[in-house]
Every structure is written in structure tokens, then in C-alpha cells.
Amino acid sequence: MMRLSLSNHSLSCYIRLMQGKDVSQVTEIDQLIFPTMRPAISYHSELQNKLAHYVVACGKEMIAADTGRGEERGGLHGITSWLGGIFRHRHSPEDETAKLRQYIFGFAGLWMMADEAHIINIAVREQYRRQGIGELLLIAMIDLAVEMKARFIVLEARVSNTIAQGLYAKYGFKAVGIRRAYYTDNHEDAVMMSTGDITSDGFKVNLKRLKEIHARMWGVDNYEVAR
């Protein structure tokens, strides 16, 4: 399974397929990252959609989001608060460990249509960005697309989001057009991006190289998505 361990050992996470128990946290992240986007996505419905495939990045060090403040409790402070909670509320260590394993840092999803995979979204909680998680989710999307026999991957990015565009370009996506006023919140244009043939040797070689770089930087064990 995909596992990511930061060099400072303050964060560890893995990638697995999204499940029904994840919907509340995924919806929370969606609303935090895309608060004005309409219509909102129903992730319960997406789990029943045979075209849709979602993954989540799960952490072990974080307090579960049932307190309503889970996203604020990282690192040593989060662990200290969790330990205090055990003694105050007399929760069993087993139950607390299970809760920690359910914390979601981010998620990503795609729709598979014929031989084309359309990445719908990639979202990471703001305080955990620039720590390799977004790139890990992108790699998961590419690997899922390969597994499902896609030949091309497409997506849209805000014209103002040059950081995301740079990441996508690194993985072989190229701008192929503009969708005018695509985003409903502010009518911003979207850059349409697409890979070339992901079954080609050139794409495979570049993906392997980028995985090796990412693994060295962030301490990833391997890149399999947990089922």
C-alpha cells in the first residue's frame, strides 16, 4: 500500500480506496477547500457510481474528526490532547488507535469513461500541503488509471493555480484548451490539461523516475493503493 513518512517523522499516511465511513471527513475537506463550488458533490452517491473511483490519504497520528476540531490537532500537540482525552473520558486504547487510523488528510477521485480517466478533484487539508501528500494522491490517480486500462488522463485547473499546473506538467499533462467561466464561484476560466498516451514507454519511464524522486524525498515505502 502507499505509505508516506515525512523526513521529520511527524506525519505518516497511506493511500487506500474511499469507503462509506470516510464520507463525512471527505465532505468536510471538500467544503473547506471548495466552499463556494456548486453543485456540491454527494460522496455517498459517488461511492455507488460505477464510473467513479476515489482514494483517501489516511493518517495515524491525528485525532479523529468526531470532535469537530480534528484538523487542528497535528504533531505533538495532537498526541498530547489525545492522551489527555484517554484519561478524561476513559476510552480504551484500542478504540483510540482505531480513531487515529481514520483521520483523513486528503482525497482524490476520477471518473473512468471509455479509455479516458477524468480526474475530478485532488484536495488536501490546508495545513498538510507542501508535504508530498498532494503529489502522492496524483500518483495514485495515475496508477488507478493505468490499472483500469486508460490511455489518457484529463483534468481541469484554475488558470490562477499555477502551482497545480506545474505539478501536472511534471507528470506529463499539457494544456489543451480553456473552459471559459468554468468555476461557478467566481466564473474563473479553467485550463484543460491532458496526458499523452499513458501506455507509452516514454510516459512509463517518466512516471517511474518521478516516483523514485518522490520516494527519496518523502520516504514512501511503495505505491500500491490499499483495498
Q: Which residues contact 167 (CB under 8 A, 6 or more apart)?
A: 134, 135, 138
What number of residues does the chain have? 227
| Cα 200 from Cα 220, distance rounded (Å) | 25
Amino acid at 128: Y
The single residue listed with the C-alpha cell 511527524 is 10
Ordered strands of the 174-179 beta sheet: 2-5, 12-17, 52-59, 103-113, 116-124, 152-158, 190-194, 174-179
- 156 catalytically annotated: yes
- 28 catalytically annotated: no
Q: Which of 14, 54, 128, 168 is catalytic?
A: 168
Q: Which of 43, 128, 156, 223 is catalytic?
A: 156
Residues catalogued as catalytic: 156, 168
